[in-house]
Amino acid sequence: MADPVTTGAERRHNRSVRDRDIESALQRLGNLCSYLQADDDLREVLESDGRLVVDTWTGLAAATGQDDPGGLLPLLDAVDAAGRAAGLDGVTYTTREYRPGPFPPGPREVTGWRCPHRVACGRVELSTDQGVERRCMLTGDAMTWASVSSG
């Protein structure tokens, strides 16, 4: 039997769901990159007892250079599964929340480091010191210095 015809609304819905999945994957990738920088032992813990194979790291690093980040979700799920097996919860997720700061009105400038890849994750390291270079903990590439002005 032939597949039913997909309506325009169904295609838009499917694209919208896929876009949310990709946005979630990029945020999770940024979280993982930050956690790897903050905890020197995390990668070793995830890999211990064969919980996570090197191919997963290779796949994550390769996905940052592709135009379609759709393959990230299964790799990030594998990292989280390895974390759960090691007794760690939420290796690629975060419970942080945004709250606006008590800034005075007027123009402001924010500076820091951002993910350098074509498929950029959500990782941002706010800083005023351009001399302290940050690196992607998946590929080893130097993060990109960025400055954003408002007003």
Mean pLDDT per segment of 10 residues, for the chain of length 151 residues?
Answer: 57 62 86 89 89 89 80 91 85 62 75 91 89 92 91 64
Dist CA 148 CA 110 (whole Å)? 5
CA Rg value for the chain: 18
Residue type (1 letter), 86: A
pTM of the complete model? 0.60
Burial (CB < 10 A; 0-12, 13-18, 19+), residue 96, is exposed
